[in-house]
Structure 1
Amino acid sequence: METEFDYVIVGGGTAGCAVAARLSEDADVHVCLIEAGPSDVGDDAILDLSRWMELLESGYDWDYPIEPQESGNSWMRHARAKVLGGCSSHNSAIAYWAPRENLDDWAAGGATGWSADECYPFYRKLETALDGAEHADAPGRGTDGPVTIRTVGDQDPCGEALLRACEQVGLPTTPFNTGRTVVRGANWFQVNANPDGTRSSASTAYIHPNLDRPNLTVLTGYRAEKLTIDTSGPRPRITGARLRTPDQRRALEVTARRETVLSAGAIDGPKLLMLSGIGPAEHLREVGIEVLVDAPGVGENLQDHPEGLVQWEALQPMPTASTQWWQIGIFAGSEGRTTPDLMFHYGSVPFDLNIVRYGYPTSENTFCLTPNVTGAQSKGTVRLSSRDFHDKPKVDPRYFSHDHDREVMIRGIRVAREIAAAPALADWVGKELAPGEQDSTDEELFEYIRKTHNTVYHPSCTVKMGAEDDRMAPVTPTLQVKGVDGLRVADGSVMPDLITVNPCITTMMIGERCADFIRRGV
């Protein structure tokens, strides 16, 4: 088995697949892509998008618990995908370009080169917009990229009534992904999915068509223990990774002649950096790891989109088939904002994952709105629980530790109720199952939120990029890890701040940009 390559990508997820595919377009280099989970090739449990909810807390999920939360749901689990394609093989495939304002804020805050004008060409490069959607050929949309993006258009009479109800309360039907940021409006989602209902994930789009490339090696089932390091030069150099073979019985080292790219995500990425001696020095010493680089920002700045739930019994039969069961997005931003601070996903299925333990009633024939705080101000951490790579890290999102997030979520429940009370939904809305009409004050609503909230599964920003002199930014704007040579990070962890929409397509864009930096030698 070959163990020496030009480039080693640790993590075959949403960004890692893009990096591997783009680098291996050069036939003169040999690329190795490493994924701890199994392949998704031929696996309908992964490829059939309509089955995505089966993957939560399954064998395809690292299923990370969170640390006890003072103001949040301590029972909550963070789903992180254990399969080729990462979370793009595990999520509901909602596809958004980041709002222009989010990217421009990144650039203004020290991530030079990441403004919207500089990033949007890479969204165009990765996507093909299909299905004749009214906005698919809007100026600047991609036409020949590997990732298929189309508009959900399922026959869902409750969803159609919901859009009319939104209009009645001042949230007009508004096209998404046109280049204009939607602060207040609603519509059917765009998804990265093929017309046959299969995912257009990072793995299916970037890797499956290229598995026969002689210069691309894909290792699935190999878990990285730590990065390997050469300390003989003036600066430490990352030379690859030490892996555990699929049977877990022996170690294997893979070497990168040129560069190693870490694409393990916002939880496992900082974990692997810290296991390799790159992280907050005091914490590393506490767990018995020799400090290679004192990087205080590794594992800091954890951001997410916390999500609530308002669920109703439906008065008519809900659909029995769907593209992915969560088909409409609603933005209800506060007045005067340029980006939304409140978003809803509409689900045409029961979503009682976090309410049954408290005895809230449920039903098989329900629909729900899930308000989420798109610009959450609460920030948390990822820390090691030990120096053993087998052990899960300590994930502490510190949900609702900032008053802003509480206020937005309480408003979200009230807006959901306002939408449900609109005339267009009169024939659909039955009993409010959760939180229930008995909860009406701010205090009652937040107590419900605190106990039962979930997440949209968007942990990000834990190895953020920033200016060279920003000690809390472990990564440069060209995604190079400060203090070492030969290592870049490309995944959602490098976002300085979490964007105000679902981040999957932006994570693919980060992978595209990483490959471009490497190929240009910057």
Structure 2
Amino acid sequence: MVIVGGGTAGAVVASRLSADPAVRVCLIEGGPSDVGDQRVLRLRSWLSLLESEFDYGYRTVPQPRGNSHIVHSRAKVLGGCSSHNTMISLLPPPGDFADWVAAGAAGWSYEEMLPYWHRLLINIVPVAERNPLVADFVAASSKALGVPIHDDLNATPFADGTGLFPVGYHPETGVRSSSSVEYLHPVLDRPNLTIRTDTWASRLEIDGDRVTGVHTSAGVIRGARYVLSAGAIDTPRLLLLSGIGPAGDLRRLGIPVRVDLPGVGEHLLDHPESLILWEASRPVPPESAMDADAGLFVNRAGGDRPDLMFHLYQIPFTVHTARLGYDVPEHGFGMTPNIPRPRSSGRMWLVDADPAARPALDFRYFTDPEGYDERTIVDGLRIAREVAATEPFASWIRREIAPGPSVRSDADLSAYGRAVHHTVYHPAGTCRMGAEDDPLAVVDPTLRIRGLSNVRIADASVFPTMTTVNPVVAVLMIGEKAADLLRGDQR
């Protein structure tokens, strides 16, 4: 078994399959190991990993209605984005999995996926650090909006609410509970598990309907079966470089077509979020798990799950506001109106047949015809101001820096919100799962790639639709289910 990508799901698959001594597993990871590296293991250091040696740092093409200055950080380290992000670990609500089933992913209902949630090895607990700013934010959010405070946001599916995030970490040490830490570190001595770090995969070797090898920076690695877990950017990139994708695009680059799959690279999804930034009236207390410890979920439409969410950043996150000339406070914090299920989608494609060339990413932010995504950001900025005007949170605020109190109309809030929006680093959907009659589905509900008999995909690229919440738990569950499907091949 060869697994390409030692990230969030790839580590799960490698660990679960290598538990059988009769199965030999080779895990290929483009980045270094995280073992013993406190820069990676310490959860609160996540911001320092962005645009570092542990980051591929992909950029977007110009976005006519969104922010064209976003760097899409993609982890270059064992454990993937679970070694690179905040590890906010929320179980997707039942409606998210119902959307997947409706999109053709039979066998992926909430009831069918719940056992994988209970199987996860990640140590998921509500944030233990009790920061007074965070506590007052939670109290004010509940008071201003009438939403319940949830002691554990994973205790039951919720339509709205506020509270401390459940996070995959070890509160006593501050070490992140990544898929690498929990699934790989305890089994590194398994004789049937080989982990090849700093090994970049550039092409799949194909014979008929079978993959026969993976061309890497360390040579060709061969196995009987293959799993691609390189993420929503690099899994489709690897397929395209291997001649698997839209035939016309491949021919234009001079890449021989092995499998004509028009959906590869299409349906690129993300969670965009904007920012309202305040100067603090006093220094923000230091207690924190990862500087974004609490959240707010709002249900505007009266459905069974939130349609607007916020992170509370306990630091002045000014990357995009400073670029537009806004002040950078010594002490500051902000709320981030986030679109849980955006209706805009884009695509990624190769600009060159050279494996070293970076792909083009076009998220097409805020381009949905109904203007739903734009409306959500405007509503979010207004709701954030309601919370900011409510005690006990209000007393923490000296002034609103961005967009500033003079920005009040829908048009002005939209222009600001779209100019400074960023990503929460959640690309997904580029090899989406679907039914047999879906012309753009890349994998079937068993995660097999169409037209190939011995290769599956297990990462966020298979999402049929975006999860309402941060996707790391969904990706871990994909890894667990992929391991079950692969074990089933043996029976």
Q: What code does the residue aligned with 1:92 have?
A: T
Q: What is the SS of the residue equivalent to 1:158? A: helix
Contact kept in structure 2, 1:287 and 1:386, CA below 8 Å: yes
Q: Counterparts of 1:57 and 1:307 in 2: how far apart (Å)?
A: 19
Match of 2:51 in 1: 57
Q: What is the SS of the residue equivalent to 1:370? A: strand
1:119 is aligned to 2:113: yes
1:173 is aligned to 2:140: no
Q: What is the SS of the residue equivalent to 1:395? A: strand
Contact kept in structure 2, 1:71 and 1:400, CA below 8 Å: yes
Equivalent positions of 1:372-411 (< 5 A) are 372-402=338-368, 403-411=371-379
Match of 2:211 in 1: 238
Contact kept in structure 2, 1:301 and 1:380, CA below 8 Å: yes
Q: Counterparts of 2:72 and 2:102 in 1: how far apart (Å)?
A: 31
1:157 is aligned to 2:157: no
Select 2:221's aligned residue among 227, 232, 254.
254
| Superposed CA offset, 1:182-237 (max 9, x none) | 22210000000013110110100111111000000000000001111123xxxx21
Match of 1:24 in 2: 18
Shift of 1:276: 0.6
Q: Counterparts of 1:320 and 1:176 in 2: how far apart (Å)?
A: 22
Q: What code does the residue aligned with 1:172 have?
A: P
| Superposed CA offset, 1:332-388 (max 9, x none) | 121322221110001111100111111101112111101100010000001001111
Shift of 1:176: 4.0
Q: What is the SS of the residue equivalent to 2:480? A: helix
1:318 is aligned to 2:284: yes
Contact kept in structure 2, 1:239 and 1:486, CA below 8 Å: no
1:420 is aligned to 2:420: no
Runs of 4+ aligned structure 1 residues displaced above 6 Å come to none
Q: Counterparts of 1:367 and 1:410 in 2: how far apart (Å)?
A: 19
Match of 2:412 in 1: 444
* Percent identity for Structure 1 against Structure 2: 46
Contact kept in structure 2, 1:349 and 1:364, CA below 8 Å: no
Q: What code does the residue aligned with 2:137 have?
A: L
Q: Counterparts of 1:366 and 1:183 in 2: how far apart (Å)?
A: 30
Shift of 1:286: 1.4
Q: Counterparts of 1:443 and 1:63 in 2: how far apart (Å)?
A: 32
Contact kept in structure 2, 1:316 and 1:427, CA below 8 Å: no
Contact kept in structure 1, 2:58 and 2:72, CA below 8 Å: yes
Contact kept in structure 1, 2:299 and 2:305, CA below 8 Å: yes
| Superposed CA offset, 1:385-420 (max 9, x none) | 111111110000000002100000000000000100
Q: What code does the residue aligned with 1:357 have?
A: R
With 420-429 and 366-375 compared, the bigger mean Cα shift is at: 420-429
Equivalent positions of 1:38-437 (< 5 A) are 38-126=32-120, 146-169=121-144, 170-178=146-154, 180-195=156-171, 196-231=173-208, 236-245=209-218, 252-257=219-224, 259-402=225-368, 403-437=371-405
Match of 1:33 in 2: 27
Q: What code does the residue aligned with 1:174 have?
A: H
Q: Counterparts of 1:30 and 1:99 in 2: how far apart (Å)?
A: 36
Match of 1:487 in 2: 455
Shift of 1:319: 1.7
Contact kept in structure 1, 2:131 and 2:287, CA below 8 Å: no
Q: What code does the residue aligned with 1:90 have?
A: H
Q: What code does the residue aligned with 1:407 have?
A: R
Q: Counterparts of 1:509 and 1:300 in 2: how far apart (Å)?
A: 23
Shift of 1:240: 2.7
Q: Counterparts of 1:480 and 1:426 in 2: how far apart (Å)?
A: 52
Q: What code does the residue aligned with 2:242 have?
A: S
Shift of 1:171: 2.2
Q: Counterparts of 2:417 and 2:252 in 1: how far apart (Å)?
A: 35
Equivalent positions of 1:475-514 (< 5 A) are 475-514=443-482
Q: Counterparts of 2:166 and 2:393 in 1: how far apart (Å)?
A: 23
Select 1:14's aligned residue among 5, 8, 24.
8
Q: Counterparts of 1:341 and 1:332 in 2: how far apart (Å)?
A: 6
Shift of 1:111: 0.3
Contact kept in structure 2, 1:340 and 1:375, CA below 8 Å: no
What runs of 5+ residues in structure 2 fail to find an aligned partner? none
TM-score, normalization: structure 2?
A: 0.97
Contact kept in structure 1, 2:153 and 2:163, CA below 8 Å: no
Shift of 1:426: 2.8
Shift of 1:178: 4.1
Q: What code does the residue aligned with 1:262 have?
A: L
Shift of 1:451: 1.5
Q: Counterparts of 2:82 and 2:192 in 1: how far apart (Å)?
A: 24
Q: Counterparts of 2:170 and 2:117 in 1: how far apart (Å)?
A: 18
Q: How many residues align?
A: 486
Contact kept in structure 1, 2:301 and 2:307, CA below 8 Å: no
Contact kept in structure 2, 1:100 and 1:179, CA below 8 Å: no
Shift of 1:179: 5.6
Contact kept in structure 1, 2:206 and 2:258, CA below 8 Å: no
Q: What code does the residue aligned with 2:177 have?
A: S
Match of 1:139 in 2: none
Q: What code does the residue aligned with 1:254 have?
A: I
